[in-house]
Amino acid sequence: MAYGLARRELSPRVPLRPGEGERDHLTSLEGLAALSLDALSSVAYGPEAIVLGLVAAGTGALTATLPITLVITFLLAVLVVSYTQVIAVHPDGGGAYAVSKKDLGAKVSLLAAASLVVDYVLTVAVSLAAGTDALASAFPALAGHKLVICLIGLAVLTAVNLRGVTDSARVLMLPTALFIAAIGGVIVVGLLRAHPAAVVGTAQSHPAHEALGILLVLKAFSSGCSALTGVEAIANAVPTFRTPRVQRAQRTELMLGAILALLLIGLAFLIHRDHVAPRGQVTVLAQLTAGSFGTGPAYYATNLLVTLALLLAANTSFGGLPVLMSLLARDNRLPHLFGLRAERPVYRYGVVALALLAALLLTAVDASTHRLIPLFAIGVFIGFTLSQLGLVRHWATERPAHWKPRALINGTGALLTTVATVILLTTKFLHGAWVVVVAIPLMMLLFARIQRYYAEVGRELELGRTPGPPALRERSLVIVPLGEVSKLARHAVSTALAFGGDVVAVAVHSDPDRARALQEAWQRWNPGVRLDIIDSPHRSLVQPIVEYVERAAGDGRQVAVLIPEVEPRHRRYEILQNQRGLLLAHILRSRTDVVVCMLPYRLSV
C-beta atoms surrounding 360 within 10 Å: 11
Q: Per-residue pLDDT for 17 more than 50?
A: no
Average pLDDT, the chain: 83
Q: Per-residue pLDDT for 16 more than 60?
A: no
Res 8: pLDDT: 42
Mean pLDDT of 237-266: 89
244 upstream amide cis, omega within 30 of 0: yes
HEC per residue, 365-409: CCCCHHHHHHHCCHHHHHHHHHHHHHHHHHHHHHCCCCHHHHHHH
Res 147: pLDDT: 92
Query: Between residues 161 and 532, which one has the greater pLDDT?
Result: 532
- The long-range contacts involving 296-302, CB below 8 angstroms and separated by at least 24 positions, are 298/185, 299/198, 299/200, 300/138, 301/182, 302/182, 302/183, 302/185, 302/186
Q: Per-residue pLDDT for 107 more than 80?
A: yes
Task: Outline where DSSP puts E strands in 475-550.
Answer: 477-481, 502-509, 530-535
Query: pLDDT confidence of 12, banded at 50, 70, 90?
Result: very low
Instruction: Tell me the pLDDT tens digit for each residue of 282-298.
Output: 788 888 998 899 888 89
Res 372: pLDDT: 81
Task: State the sign of the Cα–Cα–Cα–Cα dihedral 49, 54, 59, 65.
Answer: negative
C-beta atoms surrounding 464 within 10 Å: 7
Mean pLDDT of 347-375: 86
Which residues are 597's β-sheet partners?
A: 562
Instruction: Tell me the pLDDT tens digit for each residue of 378-393.
Output: 877 888 888 888 888 8
- Residue 601: in which H helix or E strand, if any? strand 595-602
> What is the rounded distance in angstroms from the CA atom of residue 492 to the CA atom of residue 489?
5
Res 165: pLDDT: 53
> What is the rounded distance in angstroms from the CA atom of residue 23 to the CA atom of residue 15?
12
> What is the rounded distance in angstroms from the CA atom of residue 71 to the CA atom of residue 10?
61
Mean pLDDT of 97-107: 82
> What is the rounded distance in angstroms from the CA atom of residue 239 to the CA atom of residue 25?
8
Query: pLDDT confidence of 175, banded at 50, 70, 90?
Result: confident
Mean pLDDT of 407-422: 85
Instruction: Tell me the pLDDT tens digit for each residue of 460-516.
Output: 877 777 777 776 666 789 999 988 888 989 999 999 998 888 899 999 888 888 888
Query: Between residues 426 and 165, which one has the greater pLDDT?
Result: 426
Q: Per-residue pLDDT for 430 more than 80?
A: no
> What is the rounded distance in angstroms from the CA atom of residue 544 to the CA atom of residue 562?
16
Rounded to 5 degrees, φ, ψ at 207 are -65, 145
- For residues 372 and 314, the answer to whether their CB atoms sit within 8 Å is no
Instruction: Tell me the pLDDT tens digit for each residue of 545-589.
Output: 988 998 888 877 889 999 998 888 887 777 767 677 888 888 888
Backbone region of residue 281 per phi and psi (left: phi > 0; alpha: psi in -120 to 50; beta: other values): left
Instruction: Tell me the pLDDT tens digit for each residue of 264-274.
Output: 999 999 998 88
**How far are the Cα atoms of 257, 267, 416, 420 from residue 426, in angstroms, in the given order?**
27, 27, 16, 10
CATH fold, domain 7-454, is Amino acid/polyamine transporter I (1.20.1740)
Res 23: pLDDT: 53
Closest CA to 423 of 265, 217, 118, 231: 217
Query: Between residues 569 and 531, which one has the greater pLDDT?
Result: 531
3 state DSSP class of 485: coil
Res 219: pLDDT: 80
Domain residue ranges in the chain: 7-454, 477-602
Residues in Cβ contact with 417 at an 8 Å cutoff, skipping those fewer than 6 apart:
75, 79, 381, 384, 385, 388
For domain 477-602, give the CATH number: 3.40.50.620
Query: pLDDT confidence of 280, banded at 50, 70, 90?
Result: confident
Res 93: pLDDT: 65
Res 539: pLDDT: 66
Pick the range with the lowest mean pLDDT from 2-11, 80-89, 207-216, 219-228. Answer: 2-11
Closest CA to 603 of 583, 579, 573, 578: 573
Mean pLDDT of 414-435: 82
Closest CA to 68 of 254, 272, 232: 272
> What is the rounded distance in angstroms from the CA atom of residue 46 to the CA atom of residue 229?
10
Which residues are 481's β-sheet partners?
A: 506
The percent of residues above 90 in pLDDT, for the chain, comes to 21
> What is the rounded distance in angstroms from the CA atom of residue 311 to the CA atom of residue 124?
9
The whole model's pTM is what? 0.75
Mean pLDDT of 314-322: 79
Mean pLDDT of 23-48: 80
Query: Between residues 261 and 126, which one has the greater pLDDT?
Result: 261
3 state DSSP class of 599: strand
Residues in Cβ contact with 260 at an 8 Å cutoff, skipping those fewer than 6 apart:
39, 40, 42, 43, 76, 227, 231
Closest CA to 284 of 230, 223, 229: 223
Res 185: pLDDT: 94
